[in-house]
């Protein structure tokens, strides 16, 4: 039983994450990258790589943590292509209400330390 709940939660989190990526990609008029790419959206024209983190407003803590291995892949990618890394947080209150926050790419940050943006 525990295993099923874990899989179910992972599926929900994956759907939530892809939803945030889709919202931001549509607003930027870009396409999300494939699932295992270092960044969620990359705009080589403007030179920006976007990491999108989506979370429910009901989460205990609204903070972002990027694992060490993922952080290393991101650093190598932006260095290789001379890109600027941007972190986007999409906080979902309901399907109709989301808030979006932005900051320079950081490995650890709380949403309240980020700048709220209008999309």
Q: Percent of the chain beyond pLDDT 90?
A: 71
CB 45 within 8 A of CB 93: no
Cα 62 to Cα 112: distance, rounded to the nearest angstrom: 8
Cα 28 to Cα 45: distance, rounded to the nearest angstrom: 12
Residue 58's CATH number: 3.40.1350.10
- Please check the confidence at residue 2 and state whether its pLDDT lies above 70: no
pLDDT of residue 79: 98
Structural domain of residue 59, as residue ranges? 2-117
Model-level pTM?
0.87
pLDDT of residue 17: 77
Ranges of H-type helices in 49-108: 68-80
Q: Region 84-113: what's the mean pLDDT? A: 95
Count of structural domains within the chain: 1
| Residue 74 CB partners (closer than 8 Å, separation 6+) | 38, 39, 49, 51, 66, 85, 105
pLDDT in tens, 23-57: 999 999 999 999 889 999 999 999 999 999 999 99
Pick from 58, 72, 71: which is nearest to 109 by CA? 71
- Please check the confidence at residue 107 and state whether its pLDDT lies above 50: yes
């Amino acid at each position: 039983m525990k295993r099923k709940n874990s899989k179910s939660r992972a599926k929900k989190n994956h759907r939530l994450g892809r939803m945030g990526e889709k919202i931001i990609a549509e607003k930027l008029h870009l396409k999300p990258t494939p699932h295992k790419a270092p960044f969620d959206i990359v705009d080589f024209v403007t030179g920006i790589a976007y990491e999108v983190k989506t979370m429910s407003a009901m989460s205990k803590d609204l903070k972002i943590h990027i694992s060490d291995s993922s952080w290393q892949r991101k650093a190598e990618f932006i260095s290789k292509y001379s890109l600027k890394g941007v972190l986007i947080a999409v906080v979902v209150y309901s399907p109709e209400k989301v808030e979006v926050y932005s900051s320079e790419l950081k490995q650890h940050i709380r949403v309240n330390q980020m700048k709220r943006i209008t999309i």
